[in-house]
Amino acid sequence: MEIAKSKFVDASFALRDTVYVVTSIELGNTTTKCILTATDLSEGRTYFLDKTVELTAFIRPPKEGEEVFGLTVRGQPLSREAVAETIKKILLRSLTKAKISVNDLDFAVRSTGVVAGFETPEEVGGIIKALADGCLAAGIPPRKMTGAMSKSNLPAALQNYSFMDAVTFDNTVASVSCIKTPIVANEMEGELILAGIKEGAKWTSIDFRNPCIGIDFGTTLSGRVTDGKSPYADVVGSYCGMAGAIFDALAQPVVETALQLTGASDTNVPESYVEDVMNLIKIKRVKTERRFGTVPVNPKGLKESGVILIGVDVGENGDRLNELGKFSAELLSESGSAKVMGLIDKTAAELVKRIVEVTWDYGLEGVIGLTGRGVITGAKPALIQERLGDRKIVFVDDGLARGAAVLARCLHSLGTPKNPLGGAVGGKCIMDARRRIQRTAK
């Protein structure tokens, strides 16, 4: 087990000529984040400038006349205007804390895990537009939210690190081909977290490249499994459904979300409690369902892609989620919140174990990378490693933000051949192979 944690730098680092500054705007079911990253292109490592996090519950209710275009997993209504206002404020607050301006940003990436209240994957586009409205209101120009057309469009200092004149962006991120038709509503989230885990693993001794299993345990579940094809791997597995929402339900007798629990975790909790919780949780391959664990699924795209989609649910689309609180309430009456935290940690470890085992059951293998609040907090990493035995596992904080920085680099071919993110475990940089493929295609 190795854990990659954020390493923070100051504004003087961000303003160097070799540094590429990206903001990741994330609207989640539980938290809304603005994370500023600075990638030193000479070494290929990503640092953090600021991490500003707020509860999504703080977004104001829609005003009269505003259209509600979606709900969080807890049923909170969202309007485009309310989301845009929140994004503008958090962006400006983050920039101020980092002591940089909008002009110092090289790129902005928007993503969302709020998919529970949508009917189809395509509808998520509306919330991405709302995030764009907020970025524009904060002063970020459109050109910093779309890829540059040529190397000459990049700032002069960055052109020395771009390979845009050698290879073009071909919809692969960290050497993984994109899924042509979305199969789950949070498709982009899965793509970014896999890339983010690859970047985070660079701070460890674990070579987390293809084939690999990357899973994000935010409020909802997302992630991807890749094969070992070179130079571009295919997505052969994906995830959807509930993750952190399960732990929030267990925390309900004490606080609103598991994030608000404080103090030490007491893992001396009888396994019978964990089994009682797991008996309400369903982990299975999703094939024809249009929604699973509250997340919209595209069965047609799923069939056409051949991707194995593994879902997690509590009852039927979360209809038994509220029952989980009775187990932690019993522990609370006996021992206090430390045991509730222990139950959450042990449940998380068992949930990860069973998800990974189902993944293996379908013949999907690879190095394991985990990110998200549902697996990197408290005693969870140690308990997860214990349940998965001697498997190599890398734990990465802020996989989505790291992935945003990787996506921005891929769009502009800002690679680091001596320290590659792409390619296969133990392999070399795939730049030459990409050149050959693109020359042949012409």
**Per-residue model confidence as pLDDT tens digits over 387-422:** 999 999 999 999 999 999 999 999 999 988 888 999
Residue 246 has pLDDT above 70, yes or no: yes
- For the segment 9-18, what is each residue's pLDDT rounded down to a tens digit? 999 999 999 9
Alpha helices in 9-73 (DSSP H): 11-14
Average the pLDDT over each of 49-53, 234-238, 309-313, 417-421 and give the range with the smallest value.
Answer: 417-421
Confidence class of residue 336 from pLDDT cuts 50, 70 and 90? confident
Residue 56 has pLDDT above 60, yes or no: yes
Cα–Cα–Cα angle for 44, 45, 50, nearest 5°? 135
Look at residues 70, 145, 53, 69 and name the one whose alpha carbon lies nearest to residue 102. 145
Residue 117 has pLDDT above 70, yes or no: no
CA distance 381 to 404: 24
User: Which runs of E-coded beta strand occur in 137-220?
Assistant: 172-173, 176-177, 212-217
User: Which runs of E-coded beta strand occur in 302-382?
Assistant: 308-314, 367-371
**Helix, strand or coil, per DSSP, at residue 185:** coil
- For the segment 177-216, what is each residue's pLDDT rounded down to a tens digit? 989 888 998 888 999 999 999 999 999 999 999 999 999 9
Look at residues 107, 354, 307, 351 and name the one whose alpha carbon lies nearest to residue 190. 307
In this prediction, residues 153-164 reach a mean pLDDT of: 90
Share of the chain above pLDDT 90, in %: 78
At residue 123, the pLDDT reads 62
- For the segment 89-113, what is each residue's pLDDT rounded down to a tens digit? 999 999 999 999 999 999 999 988 8
Strands across the sheet containing 2-4:
2-4, 393-396, 367-371, 212-217, 221-226, 235-241, 308-314, 281-286
Using a 10 angstrom Cβ sphere, with 0-12 exposed, 13-18 middle and 19 or more buried, the burial of residue 278 is middle
Confidence class of residue 69 from pLDDT cuts 50, 70 and 90? confident
In this prediction, residues 342-360 reach a mean pLDDT of: 98
At residue 125, the pLDDT reads 73
Indicate the average pLDDT of the chain.
93
Cα separations in angstroms, 269 against 52, 256, 258, 314, 340 = 34, 22, 17, 21, 9
In this prediction, residues 155-173 reach a mean pLDDT of: 90
In this prediction, residues 126-139 reach a mean pLDDT of: 93
Measured on CA atoms in the order 34, 208, 348, 124, is the torsion positive or negative? positive
At residue 335, the pLDDT reads 78
At residue 115, the pLDDT reads 67
In this prediction, residues 252-264 reach a mean pLDDT of: 92
At residue 204, the pLDDT reads 96
- What is the CB neighbour count within 10 angstroms for residue 417? 13
Cα separations in angstroms, 190 against 158, 182, 331, 337 = 28, 11, 35, 33
- What is the CB neighbour count within 10 angstroms for residue 17? 12
The one-letter amino acid code at 278 reads M
At residue 308, the pLDDT reads 98
| All domains of the chain in start order, with CATH | 176-400 (3.30.420)
